[in-house]
Each structure stands twice: as structure tokens, then as C-alpha cells.
Amino acid sequence: MSPRSPVLLLFLLLGLPLLVLSGGLYPPLEPFSTGHLNVSSLHQIYFEVSGNPNGTPVVCIHGGPGSSSSPMTRQFFDPAHYRIVLFDQRGCGKSLPPGELRENDTWELVRDIEKLRVFLGLGRVLLFGGSWGTTLAMLYAQQYTTVVTGLILRGIYTHRVGEADWLFQEGASRIFPEPWQDYLAVIPAEERSDLVEAYYRRLVSADYPTSLQAAREFVTWECKIAQLEPNQAACDLETDQRVYQRGAIEIHYFNFNMFFSEENQLLSQVWKIRHLPATIIHGRYDVVCPLENAWTLKSLWPEAEMHIAPRSGHSQWETEITSLLVDATNKFRNL
């Protein structure tokens, strides 16, 4: 369905909700506005806006670090109600320059969200984040509380002590030992006491094949454990440039402790956003970000609504999680 089709225009004018497709998603939707925003003398972030130009603004924050926005993310939202904003974080996706690590840290990303909100004239915004996107959404809300209307968070990552080690040092390895062996094989035995640091040394190597291999294996390991039932097709990565771009940024962030200055920095500030309406969605068998992450967050944020998807892993495209996300965006139409 074209965003300018008579049917969609009629729904927009009347303010009526669209019927969703099977599986819960709304029909595919093209953006009515795209562009790049200069956020520094070095970085331009790519953005796109779709749905109702006069609708309730929602800012979608992708995961990673190093991933990018997905066109399908628009389909979680009723386009007659929402003004849907997607963007690629610094160095990610279509942002420029691709894969750039300079001036690329957590706090710059938080400020970029605010710059984008102001540039687009969004007013108060609903935040929609998954995985690393939940981290950024909560950090942004803690700093810019007055412009946030609520949060929809899927697959919680808070960067508490031990969360990164679970994923990249020891923990998830015990559940998925087969892909772990491929991840481990890149690093000699004598360097395995800190695998992220060892990967970073290879990433910044002057030898490009070495850097590319590090980026590829780092990203592939996480991809292969992201769903309850591994989907090999989803792990067929793109061009070498895209693989390097994604892997380089992720390794960069994890090697520098997500640029947090203190332990449990995010959770210690949850009190600042407890008054905001929030929905937490997490897969029971999420190996990338274990359910304990969400459980701990909920204990500090009892007012938040929490849903555990009983037969799901980490991915937003698993059936239960997709359905819960659409339910959440529909519910937030009435807030």
C-alpha cells in the first residue's frame, strides 16, 4: 500500500486505525521524508519520517551498537496515529561517514536524539527501543525527562557489571557452544582472558583482512544466538563494508565499557523516569540479554508494565514479541 494511496489518506483524515496484517504488523509503509542531519563537524546521521505528519511522535532507537534502523520497524505502529521517526546512529547504516569511530560514544548518541527531536520539531516523544536501543532510550529519558511521554522497551540491556561478560566472555557460551567455538577460534588461547579486548586489537590492526575477520566473527556470534530457534538466513551478512561497519562499532563500544563512568550507571538513575508510562517486553529464553536484566529493571521500576514472552529469545521478529510490541504501540495511542 503506497503511503499516498486513497485508502491510507482516508484513514489519516478520519483518524481511524488501520487493519493489521497477519502476525500483527501494520502494512509496509514508505517514508514521506528522509535526510541527513549534521550532528558534528564529522558526523551526519540518517533519518526518515513516515506515518501521519501531524501524528503522535515516536522515535525508534535501534540496537547494536553498530546495527541500523529497519524499514519493517515502521510496521509496529498505526500510521494513521503515529509520526514514526527512524534514524541510524553515528557510523551506522546510512549515516556518514560509515563505520567512523571518532567522536562516537554513548553520550554523543544521547545528544543526537535530542538534536534530531529539535530539528524535526517533534515536541514530546514516545521512545521505542530494542536491546542496546533500550539503554539509549532510558539514558535519554533520564537526561531529557520533560520531553518524553513514555517508553516501549524490548530486550533490556542496562550494562550492569557482568552483562557484557555474559555475552562475550562466558555465559551464553554454555548454551550455544557450537557458534561459540567459531567466535573463540579467532583468538589464541593466551589472549582469551579478555576476549573483547583481544577482538579490539585485531579490529584496529593495520591489516584489513584481520580487522574484517574480527568484525565478522564478533557480529556473527551474536546473530546466531539472537533467536530461540537460530535462523541462519538472518545471519547471512551483507557486504564486507557493512559487516565491518557493524562489527567495528560494536567492538569499539564494548571495549570502552559503553563509555559508562560508573558501575550500574543506568540503573542508579531509574528513579528519574519512574513517573513515565513504560512497557517492558522480554523473551523468556533471551540469551543475548538474559531475562534477569528486565527483572532487575522492573524491581526498580514497579510502575512499569512488563510482559515475558514465554517461547521467545531476543529478536523483535519472533512471533510473540512482535505481537506484544504491536499491542504496546496500540495501547500507547490512548495515553
User: Quick count: other Cβ atoms within 10 Å of Cβ 274?
Assistant: 12
Q: In the annotation, is 165 catalytic?
A: no
Return d(Cα 98, Cα 90) in angstroms, integer.
8
Cβ-contact 220, 253 below 8 angstroms: no
Cβ-contact 27, 52 below 8 angstroms: no
- Lookup result for grid cell 529469545: 313
Nearest alpha-carbon partner for 305 in 325, 333, 323: 325
- Lookup result for grid cell 512471533: 319
Q: What DSSP element (H or E) covers 57? A: strand 56-61
Q: Exactly one of 286, 307, 312, 315 is catalytic; which is it?
A: 286
Q: In the annotation, is 131 catalytic?
A: yes
Q: Exactly one of 50, 69, 95, 131 is catalytic; which is it?
A: 131
Q: How far is CA 5 from the centre of its chain?
A: 30
Q: Exactly one of 68, 314, 315, 323 is catalytic; which is it?
A: 314
Q: How many CA atoms lie within 13 A of 78 on its CB side?
A: 19
Long-range contacts of 9-12 (CB under 8 A, 24+ apart): 11/80, 12/52, 12/79, 12/80
Q: In the annotation, is 62 catalytic?
A: no
Nearest alpha-carbon partner for 3 in 55, 45, 47, 67: 55
Question: CB-based contacts of 193: which residues, under 8 Å, 6+ apart?
Answer: none
Return d(Cα 145, Cα 182) in angstroms, integer.
43
**What's the length of the chain?**
335
3-state secondary structure of 322: helix
Cβ-contact 62, 55 below 8 angstroms: no
Cβ-contact 154, 282 below 8 angstroms: yes
Cα–Cα–Cα angle for 172, 175, 178, nearest 5°? Answer: 100
Which positions are catalytic? 131, 286, 314
